[in-house]
Structure formats: structure tokens, C-alpha cells
Amino acid sequence: MFKLREAIDELEAQSGLDVRELSAHIDRLQAILCRELHEATRRGDHVLEGKTPNAWAASACRVSASSASDRLCVGEQLNNLPRVAEALRSGDVGYQAAAVICHLSDLLGEKRGLVDEEKWLEYSKQFSIKNLRRLAEHARFVADPEGAERDSEEDYEQRYLHLSELGAMYKLDAVLDRECGMALRTALESLTKRLGETDNRTPKQRRADAFKEIVQHSLDQGTLPKRNGARPQLAVHFTVDGLKGELADGMPIPGKTVQRLACDCSMHRVVKAESMAIDVGRAKRTAQPAQWRALKARHRTCAAPGCERPIGWTQAHHLEFWSRGGQTNAHRLIPLCYYHHRLVHEGGWQVVMAGERVDFIPPETPLMLRRRWGESRWAA
């Protein structure tokens, strides 16, 4: 042990080491650690501390439970895979690749004899770790379909989704089965493309907005099961003074957000004064079917320059805000996707229509409108 410490101290003092050679030595040490952990649990060292083998290994190595389980599995299976163990010692295969082969051997159990070590060592040189894992999963389904299906069902039972409030935001935490995860990933990827040159959102923000679009589109389509006899929809209440809004659960939202929702929503209007409903009726601010047909005749996508979001995923925006007296006239409506609609209301952008052309003016950008000679107007 002292010689090992001296060797590590000597390596630490050096610079310009060959990283490939150093990585191979680390992989070899990992294999030795796995072997010693397996031998220790076989002796019952964990029993002396009143722990399970996995808990003892996690504590002794100061790693997570999953990492401890991984090392115990590799330590046991290397005894059953002598060629893989030899390749790991010589540096011909890395620890992670060897672990994939060991886990496959462990899952196959009595059928582990079907594992051709030489072939799998070749695979480890040809494929990335990610693809090697997928290949191992495929091999498991071929060699042991019943066991693979049983494990798949056990994994399925671990699924969950938890949505919790986090201040003024919401936090989503989920573990999804493969089918659901791939379906969600595919749907998100179809909506996360940058929408024009002005789209400076991060990839994470684009994914969050895409998720919101998917949910909102599902609500708008009216295909979800009814709740208490009514279509599920987002309910927003606002007061007469200042368009101060709140969601149905009482959470306040900014007035600019209320203005955006008021552009083209399928809500009923409920106006309140002193917490008492004084007027309840159907809002007439939304684009009517004939007006939507006119919009679709003029536009195939969101009206924002460079945006390719299809018109079926847009909302009708009033060039003069409905909340400020704008009228719901077809020639003063344009279709905007969620991202660009939000830019106009909450982001401070302006939309200017010149003939058939629509210009988006960012905040604090000079907008030259010829009013009188030498006079210009700034976008607010």
C-alpha cells in the first residue's frame, strides 16, 4: 500500500503524462478495487458493520449506491469472464466497456455462456459506450426475452412525474418510461428550432417553451377528457383596475401577461370588483372562424420574420391591443406563435405593419416614423 501511495505521489509531481496510458492504469486500478470489494463481501466484512453489501461498498468507497452496485457486479463477473479481465489488466479495454459486458453477463445468469468474450471485446473497440450499452440491451432481448421483458416491466413501475410550486415558477421532476420519454423528446425537438435571427433563447429555455406549446396546443384542440363537464382550460381572473390578473389557483400574474392571454383566448370573461362577480358574459375579443380563415389565407406560418411555426400553432394578435381599445378586425390581426406573441406583450417589442410586411421592433430601438421633418419616434 505504501508503494502505491509513493507511485501516485510520484505521478502527481510529474506533468505532460500520456493521458491514454494514465487512463488505462486508472481502469486497471478500478478492476482491482472491484475484485477486492467482491472478496470482502464474500468474507462477510459488511456483516461486521451491520450493512448490506451495497451499503457497505458505498460507504467504504465513498460513492453512490448505484456506483457501488456497479463495482460489486464487475468484481463478481470478472471471475466469469477471464478474457475480459485479462484485457482490462492489459489496457486493451476500458473499465466502462468492461462494466457493460459484466452487467450483460450478470443479467443473463445461467445463460452467460452465450457471451462471446472475443466478440464483445471487438465491439468495445468499435462502438461508443452509449452504443455498446444499446447493443448489450439488444443482446439481452435476443438471448433472454422473458427476463428482459420482466425487467422492463419492473422499470416501468418506477415511473413518476411530480409538479411543484417553486416561488413564482413551477418545478417539474420526472422519470419516464422509454416510450414516453422518446415521444416527449421527439415532440420537443420538433419545436426547439430557433425562430428567426432575433431568437436568443438558450436551448434549455427553448425546450421549456416547447413544452408549454405542446400543453397549450393540447388544451386548445379540445381532445382531452372533460373535467366536471367542461373542457380543461387555463382560467384567468382579472380586476377592473389595471388588468391585474391571477390564475384560478390564486397565483398572481403580470398585467402584460393578461393582455397577451386576452388577445385570442377561449376563456369566459369574469370581471370582479371587491371580490364580487359583477359582470359575467362571453368575451367578443377573439378571432371568429371567418377571420381565422382570412388569416390562414394570408399566412401559412407565424407572421414574425423568419419564424416557421405553422399557423395551426399560433394565436391571433391584435396590432392594437384589445385591452387598449383595439378592435377585432381581420385586417388588424396577425398570427403569432407563443414565443413571438410573448415578445410583443411581455418583452416590450413592437409590431409595425407596412402594407403586407410585418416588422418587429425590439425595445430601445429607434423607429423612424415620418411625422414632421427631423422628428423621430422611439420604440418603447
Angle between helices 203-221 and 178-189 (to 10 degrees): 100
The answer to whether residues 43 and 166 belong to one domain is: no
Q: How far apart are CA 371 and CA 377, in angstroms?
A: 9
The answer to whether residues 25 and 152 belong to one domain is: yes
The answer to whether residues 150 and 169 belong to one domain is: no
- Residue at which a domain ends, from 138, 171, 189: 189
For residue 181, what are the domain limits?
Answer: 159-189
Q: How far apart are CA 235 and CA 216, in angstroms?
A: 12
The answer to whether residues 25 and 122 belong to one domain is: yes
- The label of the residue with cell 418603447 reads 380
The answer to whether residues 167 and 150 belong to one domain is: no
Q: How far apart are CA 326 and CA 323, in angstroms?
A: 7
Residue 69 lies in a domain: yes
Instruction: List the pLDDT tens digit at each of the 380 positions of the chain.
Output: 667 778 777 778 777 878 888 888 889 899 999 999 999 999 999 999 999 999 999 999 999 999 999 999 999 999 999 999 999 988 889 999 999 999 999 999 888 888 999 999 999 999 999 999 999 988 988 888 888 888 888 888 899 999 998 888 899 999 998 888 988 999 999 899 888 888 889 999 999 999 998 988 887 777 666 554 555 555 556 554 555 555 545 556 566 666 666 665 554 444 444 444 333 223 456 677 777 778 888 888 888 888 888 888 888 888 877 667 777 777 778 889 888 888 888 788 888 877 777 788 888 755 444 444 444 444 43
72, 102, 137 from 79: Cα distances, Å: 12, 10, 22
Do 75 and 34 form a contact (C-beta atoms < 8 A)? yes
The answer to whether residues 30 and 42 belong to one domain is: yes
The answer to whether residues 21 and 84 belong to one domain is: yes
Q: How far apart are CA 255 and CA 340, in angstroms?
A: 17
Residue 243 lies in a domain: no
The answer to whether residues 334 and 374 belong to one domain is: yes
Residue 146 lies in a domain: yes
Provide the number of structural domains found in the chain: 3
Do 287 and 316 form a contact (C-beta atoms < 8 A)? yes
The answer to whether residues 23 and 143 belong to one domain is: yes
- Residue at which a domain ends, from 146, 168, 189: 189
Q: How far apart are the first and last CA of the chain?
A: 71
Residue 268 lies in a domain: no
Q: How far apart are CA 214 and CA 218, in angstroms?
A: 6
The answer to whether residues 121 and 177 belong to one domain is: no
The answer to whether residues 48 and 148 belong to one domain is: yes
The answer to whether residues 135 and 176 belong to one domain is: no
